[in-house]
Amino acid sequence: MFDHQACPVGEKFISATSYLPNRLLKGTCFISLSALCELTGSTDLQLDIRGLGKRYKGDVWGLKDFNLSIGAGVIGLLGPNGAGKSTLMRILATVTRPTEGQALWNGTEITDAPNDVRKILGYLPQDFGIYPNLNAVEFLTYLAAARGIGGTAATKRINQLLELVNLGDARKRKLGSLSGGMKQRVGIAQALLNDPQLLIVDEPTAGLDPEERIRFRNLLTELAGERIVILSSHIVSDIEAAANSIAIINKGHLLIHATPEELLQTVEGKVWETVIPESEMDALKKTHVIGNAGRTSEGVRVRVIGDRQPRSDARSVNPSIEDAYLLALDTDRNGHGDA
Amino acid sequence: MAMHRYQLLYQLVLGDFRERTRRYSYLLTMLGALFFGYLVITGKYTVQFSDYRSIYNSEWFGTMMAVTCGMMFSIAGFYLVKNSISRDRRTQVGQIIASTPLSNLEYIFAKFVSNFLVLLSMVAVLAVIAFLMLLFRNESGSVDLWAFSLPFLLLSLPAMALVAAAAVFFDTVKWLRGSLGNVLYLFMAEIFLVMGMMRTISLDLAGNNLFIEGVKAGLAEAYPGVKVGLQMGFIGLVEDIRMEGTNTFVWKGIDWSPETVSLRFVWIGLAIVVLLLTLPFFDRFDPAGLKQPAKRKKAVLPKVENVGNEQISNIVSSYSQISVVDAAFSFVAMIRAEFSLMVKGFHWSWYLIAAGILAAQLVVPFDIARMYITPLAMVWPLLIWSAMGNRETRFGTGELLFSSPMPFKRQFPSVWLAGLFVALAAVGTMVMRSIIAGQWSYAMALLIGAFFVSSLALAFGTISGSKKLFEVIYLMFWYVGSVDHVPVLDLLGTTAEAVTITKMLVLGLLTVGLLTAAGMARRRQVYGC
């Protein structure tokens, strides 16, 4: 079985589920380890964020002194509501001006030359609208015109993109009659209209059914090799599956930027599972970070994150990205892993 | 503890009132009301009966301001408050409310009350201004608070109740929610106000007739047999009002006989009837009540589609299979895209009538086409123009468009040019006919009118983020200027008197100003500065 650690340094693991269909289509029968790994950082794409800050009315900072360097690949942004993920994405998408700091696309300041970025940008905002009287092809043709893409070649690409997002059959239906998930897929298609080098997607899987979520995650993985993909999601499993680096954000600050492996190391040996009486839950919450919990006939089965073993009968379990995320947030709030 | 029904209603009304009074549009309307108050104080807006006037007393100030409140907020107030239910629908808060025990009647009533309160808050501001005027310019030697307040209670309140109820009705009935409702209401309100002035007591919503007839009766008492002309409006803007030397008399206010008072309560009764009529139209935010699922004309099967010279299979499983297109911006393509977006979504009969109007411009006698058909051609695309500049705000597509390359230099001018194209299409035939007939100045007036209207639409749409402002202002211009043929407001030169070099120059300058204002507003939206 292949896993992330099997890839050599500087190469990225491509999940078998996304990789196999392509290779099989092309007639490749023998899958080697190297075929499932792809060079990362092989292109010159670079996005540098230096001391970025955004102040809103009432002296509220949505983002403050934010620093991050991103190369080709998928970076996942994780953080609670109001952490500053969407603010960061809107600044990078040239929709919002930062109050301070810089964002450099291949050395060029985004604020000074927003159109340089817009030419290579694909952006899916968290909340976006559609024109209900247009169908998907008409809507994408309109947005393509705004991006300088037209003609029969554009029409062909639009149709192909709609097939890719599984909307081929619905391409002539008015957007006003589509479901939320279908509209979201139209949004994904519009973000790919200009074959972007920088793809920014804010909560792209919101409203998608499980099958479409997997399809989209695989698409992101496929896209990652030749471009920078910035993915924000509350769904940790989406980030875990698609991202080759993860940035955890809280209160407008970057807490940690690391590979999934490095993140897992931060909670190695700190995740426990135990069954406790319900009456002990409150006491445990005061001393440890609590992950998933569920009722059983013996009490509450609870996942606990902390340096210390919570109870003598607690057993150590394999950590997950979600555990690392919870620990990072707790450390930021309380200054230490245990509450 | 369970919340009482009335507490629930109270919270709903309060939340709605807070939401509305914290909106930018409320602030703007309030500023407009304050400016209007200033015009009244400085005598720019006044009521004058030839060389006679009442002394400035509690009855005069109270009644004059109450009547003007009724007139002004019957129109501006309606458009301010007619969006509350639509907002609940758009934000889907309505679906949350629909899942609560709140009954339809309670919801509709709560919306009516909050509409009413918003309108009253504006009346209250003007009442305070009127009271300050009374304190500073009182000529009677005493202040009668009751006489001052009564007109607000009996004239403004019933009028605002009906406006609040009408706003709920127009906001609920599906086909009245949009532009059609805006246009229809404007005509209805105009009819009510004009008929009210024309001694039609039964249609006297604002209390105009009561006021005028009351003052005339007071005048006749003081100066028996005198005949006077009436002037009401922004008289002071165009001529000096003689404050000294006019013949004064003491007006004791409207005679509030039981019959007069009961007639005012009829408006409140009518408001209740309108609210009750609203109920059957309220769909409780059920999306199924708004639209039927699109009917499939035929089964959709996997197919091969012709695109250009190539055939593409509809089986695309990987991004790498998709062809890449090089970007090369084309203004023509962008204008075409904006134009097709503008003209989409109308019923087929709309296009048919548009074609009929254009054909009529070609065949009917020149003067008839000039006076009647061209104004029709320039109002038929109203809904196209009113959507200019605000579509991104209304549909939430701003972030998608503003993250495209050079949105300010590319997409924005394309919107204007597409709107201008529509205007030129509306007047094109008449421009050609007037050139052939040697009427160059009329041809020029039409062209300037086309430029002005498309610029006005873009500016109002971009600045307000809504269709309403353009629809109301342009319709008023259109009706008074081009239908009633008042030369100074006639943008289309329907009569020879309406075509002057000065007016063309003014409209030309205004066009430049409007485009500049529109550009500044859009620049702010795109760049945040």
B322 closest CB neighbour out of A94, A147, A160: A160
Query: Looking at residue B235, what is its pLDDT?
Result: 59
Q: Which amino acid is at B175?
A: W
Beta bridge partners of A315: A273
The domains of chain A are located at 4-39, 46-258, 267-334
- Is the predicted pLDDT of residue B511 greater than 90, yes or no? yes
Q: Using the beta-carbon criterion (under 8 Å), do A145 and B320 form an inter-chain contact?
A: no
Alpha-helical regions (H) of A95-179: 114-119, 136-146, 151-164
Q: Of the residues B290, B317, B350, which one is the last residue of a structural domain?
A: B290
Q: Of the residues B236, B259, B290, which one is the last residue of a structural domain?
A: B290
Asked if A51 and A66 count as a contact pair (C-beta separation under 8 A), the reply is yes
Q: Kindly state whether B299 is in contact with chain A, defined as any CB-CB distance less than 8 angstroms.
A: no
Residue A96: list chain B partners with CB under 8 A.
528
Beta bridge partners of B218: none
Asked if A238 and A275 count as a contact pair (C-beta separation under 8 A), the reply is no
Distance from CA of B317 to the nearest CA of A (A): 6
* Burial of A92 (C-beta count, 10 Å sphere; 0-12/13-18/19+): buried
Quick one: B52 and B116 in the same domain? yes
Distance from CA of A34 to the nearest CA of B (A): 19
Q: How far is Cα A276 from Cα A280, in angstroms, rounded to an integer?
A: 7
Query: Looking at residue B7, what is its pLDDT?
Result: 76
Q: Is B300 left (phi over 0), alpha (psi -120 to 50) or beta?
A: beta
> Per-residue pLDDT tens for B401-438?
999 999 999 999 999 999 999 999 999 999 999 999 99
Least confident of A185-199, B58-72, B192-206, B320-334: B192-206
Give the best residue of A117, A133, A139, A156 to mutate against chain B (max B CB count within 10 A): A156
Q: Using the beta-carbon criterion (under 8 Å), do A95 and B402 form an inter-chain contact?
A: yes
Measured CA distances, B156 to B62, B67, B124, B197 (Å): 11, 7, 10, 16
B410 closest CB neighbour out of A146, A155, A176: A146
Give SS3 for A247.
strand
Total number of domains in chain B: 2
Query: Looking at residue B484, what is its pLDDT?
Result: 79
Alpha-helical regions (H) of chain A: 16-25, 85-92, 114-119, 136-146, 151-164, 180-191, 210-223, 236-242, 260-266, 281-287, 321-334
Query: Looking at residue A27, what is its pLDDT?
Result: 34
Q: Using the beta-carbon criterion (under 8 Å), do B329 and A127 form an inter-chain contact?
A: no
Q: How far is Cα A15 from Cα A146, in angstroms, rounded to an integer?
A: 35
Query: Looking at residue B202, what is its pLDDT?
Result: 67
Q: How far is Cα B480 from Cα B171, in angstroms, rounded to an integer?
A: 27
Measured CA distances, A44 to A9, A40, A247 (Å): 18, 10, 21
Q: Using the beta-carbon criterion (under 8 Å), do A164 and B316 form an inter-chain contact?
A: yes
Measured CA distances, A158 to A149, B341, B396 (Å): 10, 17, 22
A129 closest CB neighbour out of B314, B321, B396: B396
Query: Looking at residue B201, what is its pLDDT?
Result: 59
Mean pLDDT of B341-351: 88
Mean pLDDT of B180-186: 87
Query: Among all chains, which residue has been given the structure tokens 């080709």?
Result: A72
Confidence band of B91 (pLDDT split at 50, 70, 90) = confident
How far from chain centre, in Å, is Cα A3?
Answer: 20
Q: Which residues contact B200 (CB under 8 A, 6 or more apart)?
A: B209
B330 closest CB neighbour out of A123, A150, A153: A150
Q: Which residues contact A308 (CB under 8 A, 6 or more apart)?
A: A287, A288, A338
Q: Are strands B247-249 and B52-54 parallel, antiparallel or unpaired?
A: parallel
Residue of B nearest to A139 (CA): B341
- Is the predicted pLDDT of residue B220 greater than 50, yes or no? yes
Q: In what helix (H) or strand (E) does residue B53 lie, and over which residues does it extend? A: strand B52-54
- A66-70: long-range contacts (C-beta < 8 A, 24 or more apart)? A66/A101, A66/A252, A66/A253, A66/A254, A67/A254, A68/A247, A68/A254, A68/A257, A70/A46, A70/A228, A70/A230, A70/A245
Quick one: B395 and B484 in the same domain? yes
Residue B399: list chain A partners with CB under 8 A.
90, 93, 95, 123, 125, 128
**How many other CB atoms are there within 10 angstroms of residue B72's CB atom?**
19
Q: Using the beta-carbon criterion (under 8 Å), do A123 and B400 form an inter-chain contact?
A: yes
> Per-residue pLDDT tens for B224-240?
888 777 766 665 555 55
Q: Which residues contact A253 (CB under 8 A, 6 or more apart)?
A: A64, A65, A66, A84, A332
A152 closest CB neighbour out of B302, B308, B410: B308
Q: Of the residues B260, B290, B320, which one is the last residue of a structural domain?
A: B290
Mean pLDDT of chain A: 84
Alpha-helical regions (H) of A202-289: 210-223, 236-242, 260-266, 281-287
> Per-residue pLDDT tens for A71-95?
999 999 999 998 999 999 999 999 8
Asked if A120 and A194 count as a contact pair (C-beta separation under 8 A), the reply is yes
Residue of B nearest to A151 (CA): B333
Q: Kindly state whether B348 is in contact with chain A, defined as any CB-CB distance less than 8 angstroms.
A: no
Q: How far is Cα A298 from Cα B322, in angstroms, rounded to an integer?
A: 55
| Residue B474 counted as domain residue | yes
Least confident of A230-244, A270-284, B122-136, B228-242: B228-242
> Per-residue pLDDT tens for B244-277?
447 888 999 999 999 999 999 999 999 999 999 9
Quick one: B266 and B389 in the same domain? no
A97 closest CB neighbour out of B407, B411, B527: B527
Q: Using the beta-carbon criterion (under 8 Å), do B340 and A123 form an inter-chain contact?
A: no
Give the best residue of A86, A119, A147 to mutate against chain B (max B CB count within 10 A): A147
Residue A276: phi and psi, rounded to 5, are: -130, 155
Least confident of A122-126, A197-201, B44-48, B137-141: B44-48
Q: Are strands B247-249 and B304-307 parallel, antiparallel or unpaired?
A: unpaired
Q: How far is Cα B279 from Cα B295, in angstroms, rounded to an integer?
A: 29
Mean pLDDT of A56-72: 92
Residue of B nearest to A23 (CA): B318
Quick one: B99 and B243 in the same domain? yes
Mean pLDDT of chain B: 85
Residue B180 lies in domain: 20-290
Q: How far is Cα B57 from Cα B139, in angstroms, rounded to an integer?
A: 6
| Residue B406 counted as domain residue | yes
Confidence band of A335 (pLDDT split at 50, 70, 90) = low
How far from chain centre, in Å, is Cα A29?
Answer: 32
Handedness of CA A246, A248, A254, A257 (dihedral sign): negative
| Residue B316 counted as domain residue | no
Q: Using the beta-carbon criterion (under 8 Å), do A93 and B399 form an inter-chain contact?
A: yes
- Is the predicted pLDDT of residue B340 greater than 90, yes or no? yes
Asked if B320 and A22 count as a contact pair (C-beta separation under 8 A), the reply is yes
> Per-residue pLDDT tens for A234-275?
888 889 888 999 999 999 999 999 999 999 999 999 999 999
Quick one: B394 and B459 in the same domain? yes
Q: Using the beta-carbon criterion (under 8 Å), do B329 and A133 form an inter-chain contact?
A: no
Asked if B393 and B526 count as a contact pair (C-beta separation under 8 A), the reply is no
Quick one: B263 and B361 in the same domain? no
Mean pLDDT of B356-371: 93
Both structure tokens of A170: 């619905």
| Residue B148 counted as domain residue | yes
Query: Looking at residue A7, what is its pLDDT?
Result: 41
How far from chain centre, in Å, is Cα A8?
Answer: 23
How far from chain centre, in Å, is Cα A138?
Answer: 29
Confidence band of B43 (pLDDT split at 50, 70, 90) = confident
% of chain B residues with pLDDT over 90: 48
Query: Looking at residue A6, what is its pLDDT?
Result: 39
Asked if A15 and A241 count as a contact pair (C-beta separation under 8 A), the reply is yes
Q: Using the beta-carbon criterion (under 8 Å), do B319 and A219 form an inter-chain contact?
A: yes
Quick one: B234 and B359 in the same domain? no
Quick one: B76 and B225 in the same domain? yes
Query: Chain A to chain B, count of Cβ pairs less than 8 Å apart?
Result: 150
Alpha-helical regions (H) of B364-410: 366-368, 374-377, 382-386, 391-395, 398-402
Among A254, A154, A242, smallest CA distance to A201 is for A242
- Is the predicted pLDDT of residue A111 greater than 80, yes or no? yes
Mean pLDDT of B155-166: 96
Quick one: B142 and B272 in the same domain? yes
Query: Looking at residue B299, what is its pLDDT?
Result: 41
Quick one: B427 and B502 in the same domain? yes
Query: Looking at residue B313, what is its pLDDT?
Result: 44
Q: Using the beta-carbon criterion (under 8 Å), do B403 and A127 form an inter-chain contact?
A: no
Q: Using the beta-carbon criterion (under 8 Å), do A155 and B528 form an inter-chain contact?
A: no
Q: Using the beta-carbon criterion (under 8 Å), do B405 and A118 form an inter-chain contact?
A: yes
Among B437, B381, B389, smallest CA distance to B414 is for B389
A118 closest CB neighbour out of B318, B396, B403: B403
> Per-residue pLDDT tens for A316-330?
999 999 999 999 999
Quick one: B271 and B336 in the same domain? no
Q: Which amino acid is at B501?
A: I
- Is the predicted pLDDT of residue B243 greater than 70, yes or no? no
% of chain B residues with pLDDT over 70: 89
> Per-residue pLDDT tens for A144-188?
998 888 888 889 999 999 999 999 999 999 998 899 999 999 999
Quick one: B283 and B379 in the same domain? no
Residue B334: list chain A partners with CB under 8 A.
145-146
Confidence band of B446 (pLDDT split at 50, 70, 90) = very high
Distance from CA of A284 to the nearest CA of B (A): 31
Q: Using the beta-carbon criterion (under 8 Å), do B327 and A163 form an inter-chain contact?
A: no
- DSSP structure class, residue B292: P
The third-level CATH classification (topology) of the domain covering A46-258 is Rossmann fold (3.40.50)
Q: Using the beta-carbon criterion (under 8 Å), do A160 and B321 form an inter-chain contact?
A: yes
Query: Looking at residue B305, what is its pLDDT?
Result: 43
Q: Using the beta-carbon criterion (under 8 Å), do A168 and B314 form an inter-chain contact?
A: yes
Q: Kindly state whether B290 is in contact with chain A, defined as any CB-CB distance less than 8 angstroms.
A: no
